[in-house]
């Protein structure tokens, strides 16, 4: 194992974990545990920031059983930024001292801690222009926004068609990245969010913004009468009957939180060769997308909007805030301070 020249790694670290499923924010406990070691193709990171995603507390609720959590006690959270302090055998693209953004293995989590082990193939270098908090916001939220837009047909090299898209819950972690990415791809964006976030979402480039608590917002109809070629659907509880009339002939609703009914509906659309379709999407994490997204932050083409920041010792407050479901952008946990 290559050793970090000037970095002293302690034997133990502070971490936040839960011992059982259920329990919400009160179930998170600050503990002292051994610092993990980097194995083959892995990096040991000293974490600076982590971001919470709804999937993190959904796992704690037991919604992904029996697959997740893999074991208890469990240190949750996958989206992190920090600095490499050690590398395992086989790592050739990183060395101690590199600043990085990483998505940790969902099965093992580990992000609410002072140190964590990341796989080399889901870690990218973080240029000085990108802060740890901004970088930590990216992996799941921006990755999902990017893949949902690509599924609709968005292209980021200037060769795409000027599609009309609707982004629901545009003020959330995924939605705020989706609005910015859709504009970078040259799309016409209609967005839904609460009244307090309308101006923010417009300032990121959305062409039309609907307050989801009004009748117009609930109907999802574009004020200018446009039909949607695609929907990045980040909210929950909107039925196909609401989407169907506002879609263009071959419109697609990319549902990132599909329930059982949505999965059945999408299967039905597929077997009947329906022209308008519901398409469930689960993020497929990959290094190329993460590199692309970090590059956009570096070049100032996209930003991470931060809802709130909490120290590691108050990670349970960050957790509770995510469960409430009213964040505007990303909820960040910072390891120092």
222 Cβ neighbours under 8 A, 6+ residues apart: 164, 166, 190, 208, 228, 246
Structure tokens at 59: 């796992």
Considering beta carbons, is residue 196 or 301 the nearer one to ligand NAP? 196
Is 171 a binding residue for ligand NAP by CB under 6 A? The answer is yes
Select the residue interacting with ligand NAP from 36, 175, 230, 285 (CB under 6 A): 175
Say how far apart CA 305 and CA 172 lie, in whole Å: 9
Select the residue interacting with ligand NAP from 50, 169, 297, 302 (CB under 6 A): 169
What's the min distance (Å) between Cβ of 325 and ligand NAP? 5
Is 103 a binding residue for ligand NAP by CB under 6 A? The answer is no
Select the residue interacting with ligand NAP from 193, 279, 306, 332 (CB under 6 A): 193
Considering beta carbons, is residue 48 or 307 the nearer one to ligand NAP? 307
- The footprint of ligand NAP on residues 266-305 (CB under 6 A) is 281-283
Select the residue interacting with ligand NAP from 135, 172, 251, 285 (CB under 6 A): 172
Neighbours of 156 (CB within 10 A): 16
Neighbours of 195 (CB within 10 A): 12
57 Cβ neighbours under 8 A, 6+ residues apart: 24, 76, 319, 322, 323
Is 96 a binding residue for ligand NAP by CB under 6 A? The answer is no
Structure tokens at 93: 């693209």
DSSP character for 306?
E
Say how far apart CA 103 and CA 117 lie, in whole Å: 10
Considering beta carbons, is residue 270 or 326 the nearer one to ligand NAP? 326
User: What is the H or E stretch that residue 51 is in?
Assistant: strand 42-52
What's the min distance (Å) between Cβ of 313 and ligand NAP? 23
Is 234 a binding residue for ligand NAP by CB under 6 A? The answer is yes
Q: Which residues are at the interface with ligand NAP (CB under 6 A)?
A: 53-55, 140-141, 144, 168-169, 171-175, 192-194, 212, 234-236, 256-257, 281-283, 322, 325-328
């Amino acid at each position: 194992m290559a050793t970090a020249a000037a970095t002293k790694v302690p034997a133990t670290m502070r971490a936040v974990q839960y011992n059982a499923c259920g329990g919400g924010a009160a179930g998170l406990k600050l503990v002292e545990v051994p610092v993990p070691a980097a194995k083959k193709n892995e990096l040991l990171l000293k974490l600076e920031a982590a971001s919470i995603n709804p999937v993190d507390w959904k796992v704690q609720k037991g919604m992904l059983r029996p697959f997740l959590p893999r074991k208890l006690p469990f240190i949750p959270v996958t989206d992190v930024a920090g600095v490499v302090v050690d590398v395992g055998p086989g790592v050739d693209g990183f060395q101690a001292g590199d600043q990085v953004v990483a998505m940790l293995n969902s099965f093992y989590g580990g992000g609410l801690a002072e140190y964590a082990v990341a796989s080399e193939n889901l870690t990218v270098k973080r240029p000085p222009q990108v802060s740890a908090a901004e970088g930590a916001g990216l992996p799941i939220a921006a990755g999902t926004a990017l893949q949902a837009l690509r599924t609709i047909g968005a292209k980021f090299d200037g060769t795409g068609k000027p599609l009309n898209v609707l982004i629901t819950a545009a003020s959330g972690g995924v939605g705020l990245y989706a609005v910015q990415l859709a504009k970078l791809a040259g799309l016409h964006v209609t967005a839904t969010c609460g009244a307090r976030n309308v101006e923010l979402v417009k300032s990121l480039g959305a062409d039309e913004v609907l307050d989801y608590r009004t009748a117009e917002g609930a109907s999802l109809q574009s004020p200018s009468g446009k039909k949607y070629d695609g929907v990045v659907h980040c909210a929950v509880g909107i039925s196909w009957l609401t989407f169907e009339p506002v879609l263009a002939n071959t419109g697609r609703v990319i549902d990132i939180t599909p329930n059982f009914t949505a999965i059945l509906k999408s299967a039905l659309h597929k077997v009947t060769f329906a022209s308008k379709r519901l398409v469930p999407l689960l993020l497929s994490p990959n290094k190329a997308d993460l590199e692309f997204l970090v590059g956009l932050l570096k070049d100032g083409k996209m930003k991470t909007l931060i809802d709130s920041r909490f120290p590691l010792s108050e990670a349970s407050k960050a957790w509770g805030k995510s469960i409430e479901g009213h964040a505007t952008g990303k909820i960040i946990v910072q390891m120092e301070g």
